Amino acid sequence: NAGVTQTPKFRILKIGQSMTLQCTQDMNHNYMYWYRQDPGMGLKLIYYSVGAGITDKGEVPNGYNVSRSTTEDFPLRLELAAPSQTSVYFCASSYSAGHQHFGDGTRLSIL
């Protein structure tokens, strides 16, 4: 049982490039989330999904897009990368309220 798997683990982008952060879960959870964690800071919710085909904005959605075509996958797309998007990105999933399962994160630097 792999849980929540994120790829890649590390990435360096140039300003203006785009990329997709992959997230997949094998627990058949309906709820999935994307967070960013800036150095020394807490978590900020970027986007979330309550099921396949349904997504919604969190606190800090600008500059990002998501899709949820299957229960398992919830990719996060960065368009026109900016230095302010340098962060650690975490994907999480949950079956019910409270207990979220996290991936190990993608460490993204934009130079």
Partner 1 sequence: GDSVTQMEGPVTLSEEAFLTINCTYTATGYPSLFWYVQYPGEGLQLLLKATKADDKGSNKGFEATYRKETTSFHLEKGSVQVSDSAVYFCALPNSGGSNYKLTFGKGTLLTVNP
Residues that bind partner 1 (CB under 8 A): 4, 31, 33, 41-43, 45, 48, 50, 58, 90, 92, 94, 96-105
**Alpha-carbon distances, residue 28 vs 3, 24, 31, 61, 70 (angstroms):** 10, 10, 9, 25, 10
Q: Whose CA is closest to 59, among 83, 37, 35?
A: 35
Closest distance between partner 1 and the C-beta of residue 22, in Å? Answer: 15
DSSP state of 52: T
Closest distance between partner 1 and the C-beta of residue 88, in Å? Answer: 9
Report residue 20 as tokens: 């997709």
Whichever of 26 and 79 has its CB closer to partner 1, that residue is 26
DSSP state string for 55-87: EEE-S--TTEEE--SSSSB--EEE-S--GGG-E
Whichever of 48 and 78 has its CB closer to partner 1, that residue is 48
Whichever of 11 and 101 has its CB closer to partner 1, that residue is 101
Closest distance between partner 1 and the C-beta of residue 107, in Å? Answer: 9
Whichever of 37 and 82 has its CB closer to partner 1, that residue is 37
